Structures are given as C-alpha cells and as structure tokens.
Chain A
Amino acid sequence: MGDMLKGRVALVTGSGHGIGRAIAIALAAEGAKVVTNNRKPGGKIDAIISKDQYDALDEASKKKLNEEYENYSGDAEKTAARIKAAGGEATPCYADISNFADAKRLVETTVSTYGKIDIVVNVAGILARGSVDEITEEEWDVCLDTKPKGHFNVIHFAAPYMIKQGYGRIVNTSSGAFMGNLFYDAPHYCASNAGVVGLTRAVAGELFSQGITCNAFCPHAQTRPRMDDIAPKQDDGRPVFPAAPDPMNMTPFIVFLCSELSAHVSGTVFFLNDNLIARHKEPIAVRTMIKPMEKGFWTVEEIDKAVDAQLLNGYHSIVGKVK
C-alpha cells in the first residue's frame, strides 16, 4: 500500500471488472477512497455471448467459458469487496453513465459518501463491431451513448465540485480506434473513441487554469469482451482478440495521472500496454500550401497542378494505397 493518493476521493466508472476494476484497486492501494461502478449487479454471461451461441457450445467449451467468465466478470460490489478485503475504502454504486440522471446520482453518491470528488476515471464503455452498411441505428446509439456521451455526463456533474475546490484529475478511456486503428470494421467505435479524445481536449482546455487536468488513455489489456473463446471469430478462425496483458500492469501510470505529480499533464492521449507507455502527437497541421488572397481563391486546376509538390509532398495515406 502506498499513499500517493491519500485523502483523495475517486470515482471509477465501469469498474466491475477488467481495466476499470484494476484501476479502482490500484487507486485504493495508493490510499484513495473509491466509488466503484457498473450498470447492475452480477454481470451476466449473455453480455458477451447470446443464449443461442451459448447453447450451441459443447460441454467442455461451456465449462471453460464459465471459468474464464468468473475470472473476468464481476460487478461494482465485488470490486469494492476486494478493495475492502485488502484494507482499502470503497463503496459500490450501480448506474448507467449513458443515462444523464444516473450519472448525476453516481457523482452525488460519491460526494455524499466521502464528502468530495477529486478523481474521475471513466472506463465504462462497450466494444462494437460492424460494417458501415450493416450497423443499425440502435448499435450506433448504444456505442456513442456510452462514449463520449456517458463520459461527458459524469464529467458534467463532477466538474462543479472540482472547480469549487480548485483541484481535479479526470482520466478517460479511449482506444487506438480513435485513429482508425482496428483490424476489423467498426466506424461507430472509431467515432465514439475519437469523441472521447475531443472531449478530453475540450475539458482539459476549459479547466486547466482551475487546477483540473484531463487526459485520455488507450489500453491494451485482457478484458471481458476480449475473452478468446467467446469473442466472435475472424474468418480464418483466429480469435479477434488474442490474449492481452493483465490490466493491473498498466495501473501505475493511471495512478500517476491521478496524483498531484501530474499537474502539468493535460489534454494528452496515451497508449498503455503492459509496461509500455506511449504519448501521442497532437494532430497539428504539418503541411500548408498558400495562394495570395489578392490573386483570388484557388481553382481546382491550380490545386491539381500544385498539390503533389506542395501539400501532398511526402504524403502517405493511413489506408496505404486506395484501390
């Protein structure tokens, strides 16, 4: 047990299992009082596999699935119980952060239980997959309502308390998908996580002068939706999500971002994988081509002549070569 966060009060959304649980445990181990959260008691196996899919499995697969599921599932109460068993302080609060009123209740519960709120770590999120022409409106909404909207909801209600006390640490979970980095189609998931990065930058800029920082991280760790035997298989039978690191391994850096030591760090996106920590670039303009305004606006023909040597000199599309 350390004391880097002694006296601090933290809310960790989506901390019933996986990355959120690891972070809640790590913050508590450094002395923070933690409110744990997930949507409802007792995660259900049908959160990752439909009943039909489950029934279609053979007995050995069902057994393995159930064992794995125990490892990677849980709820806010179980996480809080683990923290308390290790000598820390924690209180569970069930709430769906995509619901505005729930988010309010979650923040108010934190404040009424521990008297204030210093730290918000938004981990709640869902994994989504689908091609642009197959995604339904419902799938789009479920994805975007959790992130960025759910993350916004929680920050919206926590910010006034942080502004009042002149101190706060906000950390949001994004994904490499914010850059389009995926090995399958999921444009809604990309939009959702890019929205989180935008939210992070916006909040960082607004609240920096008031002692509040806001950063985002893109994790790579073993989590419930990643479970090999359950996740949908790719066409060649390889699991979509190969085994990933224990989420506990990335928590030291989250503790740093939640501590007083990171006061100068805000609006930045990090990538975490085991002990690897990467800081992302800002998407600033890197090449510019100009035509004097007094000569009138560009024409398409002029652009076509100038673009290769100027704006697109050295250009490499993220898609490689377009067919």
Chain B
Amino acid sequence: MANTLKGKVAIVTGSSQSVGRAVAIALAAEGAKVVTNSRKAGGTKFLNISEAEYNSWPKERQAEYDALLKQIGGDAEDTAQYIRDHGGEAVACFGDISQWEVGEKLAKCAVDNFGTVDILVNVAGGFGGGGVEDVTEEQFDMNNDIKPKGYFNVIRAVVPIMKEKKWGRIVNCTSKAWQGDVVKFTQYVVCNAGVVGLTRGLALDLAKYGITVNAFSPHSKNRGGYEGVFKAGEAAPRVGIPGKPAFPTFDTHPEPEANAPFICWLCTERGGKVSGSVFSFHNNEISLHQEPTALAIINKPVEYGVWTQPELLDECKRRLFLNYKSICEPDTPIG
C-alpha cells in the first residue's frame, strides 16, 4: 500500500473486470476509498452483442461464450471484495450508466458510504464492429449510449460535489479507435471520439473549479477484446484496406494492471497540471497525443472576392496539401 491518494474517494465505472477492475484496485492500493460499479450482480452477458444476436447463435457457440464470460467475467462486488480482502476500502454499486438516473445513484453511493467524491474514472464501455453500411441503429445506440452519454451521466452527478470542494479528477476511457485507425468498427470509433470531445470540452469548463478531465486509450487484455468475443462476432466483416490491419489481435496484450499506475498518477495532486489531454498505453509505453490544431492554412483577402476554382486548386496544391497524405493511404500510420 502506498498513500498518494490517501483520504480520496473514487468512483470507477465498469470496474468489474479488466481495465476498470485494475484501476479500482490500484486506486485503493494508493489509499483511495473506491465505489466499484458494473451493470448488475453476476456479470453481464449482453454488452458487446445484443440478446437477439446471442439467441440466433447455435447452442455450442452460446456455451463457448458463456464459458468465456465465466472465466474472465466478474462483477462490481467481486472487485470490492478483492479490495477489502487486501486491506482497502470499497463498496459496490450496481447500475447501467447509460441510464440517466444511475449517475446520481453512483454519486449518492459514494457520499453515503465515504462522505464525498474526489475522483471519477469512467471505464464502462461496449464494443462493436461493423461497416457503416452494416451497423444497425440498435448497435449504434448501444455503443453511444454508454460512451459518451453514460460518461456524461456520471460526470454531471459528481461535478456539483467537486465544484463545491474546488477539487476533482475525472479520467475517461477512450480507445485508439478514436483516431479512426481501426477499420469497420464505425460505431466504436464514433463513440470513442465523442469521449475525447466531451473530455476536452469539460476540461475547459471545469478548470476554474480545480477539476481536471483527461482521457486515455487502454492497451490490455479485456473482456471486450477477448478472442471469444471475436469468435462470437466473426460474422462481422473485418476486411481492412490494403496494408492496414483490421483490428489488432489481443493475444499479445499485457495484463490490465499495466494501465493503472498512470491513471492513479493523473488523480494525484501533482496530476493537477494535466487537463484536456489524451494519453494512450502500449505495454509500458505511455504516450501523449497532440491537439488536432490547424496545420496548414491558405487565405485570400475577401476584398478580392471569393476563391475561383483555379486559384483554389493552385493554392491547395502549393500549400494546403503540401506533404499531405490521407490517413486512409495504406502506409500512413496514425495510431
């Protein structure tokens, strides 16, 4: 046990398994009192697939999926128990953060049990693949209702408490998919990009209250990425563009504990100078992403009239697209 977060109270959404679980345990090990969260007791089955999809599978595939969940699944209570068994303080609070009222429920649980909220780490999320022409409305909503909407639900419930004490740390989980470098996971890219926008907007709004807001892209074994889920979803097209991977394989990913220390650091006093930023993990590499500010600019004084097409094409070639290479070109890595 270290004590960089001694006396702090943290909520970690989606902390029954994997990254969320590792973060909850790490925060507790640093001295924080933690509210763990997952949708319901006993683990959840229909996170990355719909119930209808599951029901359409043959019995063997359902059994395979069930066995996998049993192996890697857990719930918020399991994580809280683990923390208590290791000398920490934790309570579980079940609830689906995509439901508007669950944000309040989580904040209330923290206040009732530990008196306040200092830290919120949003990790809950869904996973889904499909080309833009294949994704159903249901699939799109399922992802986007959790991220960014569910994250917002919880944030809005804890912000009044943090504002009052003029201190707060909010950390949101996004994905490297946010940059669009996974192909045929449309709704997953959209929802994770939304998380980044939410993070930046809130960082600017809340800086004057001493509240920081950052985002991270994890890299670890997790339920959503487990091969079983891919097996389950292998019908989804994963044809990439030439030279680009479809989706990374997960067998080489580290244990989720790899992601937790830096998230703990962001929640410390010293982490207070960092806000509105996006970090990503790859094994023991921690990276900071640049802001997507303007890179190349062309202009023409409006008193000379608007661009004619020949003028515009010329300036595009000479300046706007100087050294330009689309992220879609096979050999442009953007991750």
Question: Measuring CB to CB, which residues of chain A are less than 8 angstroms from any residue of chain B?
Answer: 2, 4, 100, 131-133, 135, 137, 140-141, 144, 148-149, 152-153, 155-156, 159-160, 163, 177-180, 182, 185-195, 197-209, 245, 248-249, 251-253, 255-256, 261, 264-269, 271, 274-293, 297-304, 307, 311-312, 315, 317-323
Using a CB–CB cutoff of 8 Å, the interface residues on chain B facing chain A are: 2, 4, 26, 30, 100, 131-133, 135, 137, 140-141, 144, 148-149, 152-153, 155-156, 159-160, 163, 166, 178-187, 189-198, 200-212, 241-242, 244, 254, 257-258, 260-262, 264-265, 268, 270, 272-278, 280, 283-302, 306-309, 312-313, 316, 320-321, 324, 326-329, 334-335
Q: How far is the CA of A138 from the CA of B212 in the complex (A)?
A: 26
11 pairs of residues in contact across A and B, judged by CB atoms under 8 Å: A156-B135, A185-B201, A185-B205, A206-B131, A256-B316, A274-B306, A298-B262, A300-B264, A300-B265, A318-B204, A319-B207
Q: Most chain-B Cβ atoms within 10 A of its Cβ — which of A141, A148, A302, A321?
A: A148
The answer to whether B140 and A198 have CB atoms under 8 Å apart is no
Residue of A nearest to B5 (CB): A300
Given the contacts A187-B198, A205-B180, A271-B294, A199 and B190 also touching, CB distance less than 8 Å: yes
Q: Are A267 and B265 closer than 8 Å at their CB atoms? A: no
A51–B50 Cα distance when bound, in Å, is 44
| Complex: A265 Cα to B258 Cα, angstroms | 37
Cβ-defined contact, A191 with B244, below 8 A = no
Tell me the smallest distance from the CB of B10 to a CB of chain A, in Å: 14
Given contact pairs A252-B306, A252-B307, A285-B280, A204 touches B205 in the complex (Cβ within 8 A) = no
Those 6 A-B pairs whose CB atoms lie nearest each other, nearest first: A194-B197, A198-B193, A201-B180, A190-B201, A180-B200, A208-B328
Q: Is the CB of A191 within 8 A of B100?
A: no
- Extra pairs beyond A132-B159, A182-B201 (19, CB < 8 Å): A141-B149, A148-B194, A149-B144, A152-B132, A179-B200, A185-B201, A187-B201, A190-B198, A192-B194, A195-B193, A201-B193, A205-B241, A206-B186, A267-B327, A280-B293, A288-B288, A290-B285, A315-B273, A317-B275
Contact A198 B180 (CB under 8 A): yes
Q: When the two chains form their complex, are residues A283 and B287 in contact, meaning their CB atoms are under 8 A apart?
A: no
- Are A179 and B288 in contact, CB atoms less than 8 angstroms apart? no
- A283 near B132: Cβ-Cβ < 8 Å: no
Q: Please tell me if the beta carbons of B148 and A191 are within 8 angstroms of each other in the complex.
A: yes
B212 touches A322 (CB 8 A): yes
Contacts of A187 in B (CB 8 A): 152, 198, 201-202, 205
Select from chain A the residue with minimum beta-carbon distance to B278: A283
Interchain nearest-CB distance for A296 vs B (Å): 9
In the complex, the answer to whether A177 meets B201 with C-beta atoms within 8 Å is yes
Q: How far, in Å, is B142 (CB) from chain A's closest CB?
A: 12
**B277→A264 contact, CB < 8 A:** no
A13 to chain B, nearest CB (A): 16
Q: Is the CB of B189 within 8 A of A202?
A: yes
With the chains together, A195 CA to B198 CA distance in Å? 9
**C-alpha gap A120/B183 in the complex (Å):** 21
Contact B265 A245 (CB under 8 A): no
CA distance A192 to B190 in the complex (A): 9
Q: How far is the CA of A85 from the CA of B251 in the complex (A)?
A: 62
Q: Are B197 and A177 in contact (CB under 8 A)?
A: yes
Chain B residues lying within 8 Å of A155, measured Cβ to Cβ, are 132
Residues of A within 8 A of B181 (CB): 201, 205
Contact partners of A285 in chain B: CB under 8 A: 280, 287-290, 335
B326 CB → nearest A CB, Å: 5
Contact (A282, B334) CB under 8 Å given A187-B201, A267-B326, A319-B276: yes
Q: Which residues of A contact B153 (CB under 8 A)?
A: 137
The answer to whether B186 and A304 touch across the interface, beta carbons within 8 angstroms, is: no
Taking a contact as CB atoms under 8 Å apart, the answer to whether B291 and A275 are in contact is: no
Give Cα A23 to B272, complex, Å. 44
Pick the contact of B306 from A177, A188, A249 — CB < 8 Å? A249
User: Interface centre among A100, A264, A277, A322, by most B CB within 10 Å?
Assistant: A322
In the complex the two chains form, is B284's CB within 8 Å of A288's CB?
no
Contact across chains for B288 and A319 when beta carbons are under 8 A apart: no
A264 vs B207: C-alpha distance in the bound complex, in angstroms? 40
What is the distance, in angstroms, from B136's C-beta to the closest C-beta of chain A? Answer: 9
Neighbouring A residues of B284 by C-beta, 8 Å: 290-293, 297-298
Residues of A with C-beta under 8 A to B180 = 198, 200-202, 204-205, 267
Contacts of A255 in B (CB 8 A): 309
The answer on a CB contact under 8 Å between A301 and B207 is no
Kindly state the separation between the CA atoms of A298 and B260 in the bound complex, as whole angstroms.
9
CA of A255 to CA of B4 in the docked complex: distance in angstroms?
56
| Residues of chain B within 8 A of A318, CB atoms compared | 200, 203-204, 275-277, 291
Per a CB cutoff under 8 Å, which of B209, B261, B276, B326 touches A266? B326
Question: Would you call A264 and B326 a contact (CB within 8 A)?
Answer: yes
- B79 to A: closest C-beta gap in Å: 19
Q: Is A279 touching B296 in the complex (CB atoms < 8 A)?
A: yes
Residues of B within 8 A of A208 (CB): 241, 326, 328-329
* Interface contact A189-B201, CB-CB below 8 Å: yes
Q: How many whole Å from B243's CB to the nearest CB in chain A?
A: 10
Which B residue's beta carbon lies closest to that of A292? B284
Contacts of A179 in B (CB 8 A): 197, 200, 291-293
List B contacts of A178 (CB < 8 A).
197, 200, 292
In the bound complex, residues from chain A placing their C-beta under 8 Å from that of B202 are: 132, 187, 190
Closest B residue by C-beta to A101: B137
Picked from A100, A276, A284, the residue with its CB within 8 Å of the CB of B334 is A284
Q: Which of B160, B185, B285, B329 makes the CB contact (< 8 A) with A289?
A: B285
CA distance A89 to B283 in the complex (A): 56
Q: How far, in angstroms, from A177 to B204 measured CA to CA in the complex? A: 11
Q: Are A194 and B198 in contact (CB under 8 A)?
A: yes
Tell whether, in the assembled complex, residue A152 and residue B312 are in contact, meaning their CB atoms are under 8 Å apart.
no
- Asked whether, in the complex, the Cβ of B321 is within 8 Å of the Cβ of A279, the reply is yes
Q: Taking CB as reference atom, which chain A residue is nearest B296?
A: A279
